[in-house]
Structure formats: structure tokens, C-alpha cells
Amino acid sequence: MSPPSPSETSLTGKLLIAMPALADPEFSHSVVYVCAHGEDGAMGLIINRPLPKPSFPQIVRQLKVSEGDPARSIGLFKGGPVEAARGFVLHSADWTGDDSLKVDADIALTASLDVLKAIADGGGPSQGMLALGYANWGPGQLDREMRENSWLTASADPELLFGPDHDQKWKMAMSKIHIDPGQLSSQSGSA
């Protein structure tokens, strides 16, 4: 994955908030953090779908990153329907490794084991989440979905990205842009 090249139309570093009419069960009521968006398409992670299993300690032991219990843990999420066994750590940019992609000044994405080892050893980024899988859009696909009103956008903040209230993140993201979800129609169409 090449580094994002932000432009006026790029959604890199933004949140996508699923509209109520978005019928795809993978994305219904989801909040997606866009890690890269450009001419080649887009890639993001769903940030409001926690996974109960496996636990972070189980993952680091399975990957042989840590022999015993990790000194720190981060939450595990279903990041999207693509490559569900592949892991990505979305984290604060106060720590980066050689393979980290800086999404913006505050957020980075790392797919190497270095970040898991650093966290398990008690260091690493101050905030983070481990996502299994990711969301992917081909060239022009996300732009088309935006024109079809499948998504709203909002700026990202640490509470939405890393906060513990996962069941409320969709409503929190909506309220961030001053929209009451109860006032939105679940039907879509055009006049």
C-alpha cells in the first residue's frame, strides 16, 4: 500500500458513517476510518465492530510475539470483509515502526508484528486497536457510493477511534456532524 496523497477530495483520515439505508450487512451502522483514498481506490477499517475472540493475549501468544501475558492489551475488531485473517494496528502516531504508514499527523497504520511486540512489552503507541480484515473500494467506487448517499463523512478524533463505547460510536459520529439518526429516512432514492 502506497502512502496516501491527500487532496481536496481525498477522504484519507476521515470517518465514513453508514447511512441507515446502507443495506450491506457488512457495513450496516458502521463507522469506517479511511486510511487511504486516491485514484487507485480506498482502504479503511471498521472501528465499531469489536470481536470477543480471540483475545489480544491469545493473538500475541499464537503469533509468538510474547511468551507470557502481555504487559498491555488493545482491543480486537472486525476491520472489514477483505482478508479477514490479516491484521492491522490503527494507532496514535506517537510510535511508528519502519513499516508504519502515517495516515496523518496523529494517526498511523502498522501491519507488521513490531507494533504487537512493542505493545505486548508495555511500550508502543499510547492508543491503538487491532483490526482483522479491512474494507476496500476499487477506483472510483467510494466516490460513487458517496454520490449515492451511502455514507456521511466526519473528522476523526481519538475518542471515536479508540474510545470504549463501541455500541454508541455510530450515533456519536452522527452527533459529531449534528445529525439525529432518528430524523434520517432508511429509504434512499432521487427526485
Distance CA 134, CA 42 (A): 10
191 pLDDT more than 50: no
By percentage, how much of the chain surpasses pLDDT 70?
Answer: 92
Residue keyed to cell 502506497: 2
Q: Residue 153: inside a domain, yes or no? A: yes
Instruction: Decide if 8 is inside a domain.
Output: no
CATH of the domain at 138: 3.40.1740.10
5, part of any domain: no
pLDDT digits (tens, 9 = 90+) for 42-88: 999 999 999 999 899 999 999 998 878 899 999 999 999 999 999 99
Full-model pTM: 0.90
Residue 68 pLDDT:
81
The answer for residues whose C-beta is within 8 angstroms of residue 178's C-beta and 6 or more apart is none
pLDDT for residue 6: 42
In a domain, 163, yes or no: yes
- pLDDT confidence of residue 67: 78
Quick one: pLDDT band at residue 164, thresholds 50, 70, 90? very high
Among 54-68, 100-114, 172-186, the minimum mean pLDDT is found in 172-186
So what's the pLDDT on residue 188? 47
Residues 138-159 have a mean pLDDT of 95
Domain extent for 149:
14-183
Using CA atoms, how far apart are residues 111 and 49, in angstroms rounded to an integer? 19
Q: Which of 62-71, 72-81, 120-129, 148-157 has the lowest mean pLDDT?
A: 62-71
Annotate the chain with three-state secondary structure: CCCCCCCCCCCCCEEEEECCCCCCCCCCCCEEEEEEEECCEEEEEECCCECCCCCHHHHHHHCCCCCCCCCCCCEEEECCCEEEEEEEEEEECCCCCCCCEECCCCEEEECCHHHHHHHHCCCCCCCEEEEEEEEEECCCHHHHHHHCCCEEEEECCHHHHHCCCHHHHHHHHHHHCCCCHHHCCCCCCCC
The confidence band for 185, taking pLDDT boundaries of 50, 70 and 90, is: low
Domains in the chain, number: 1
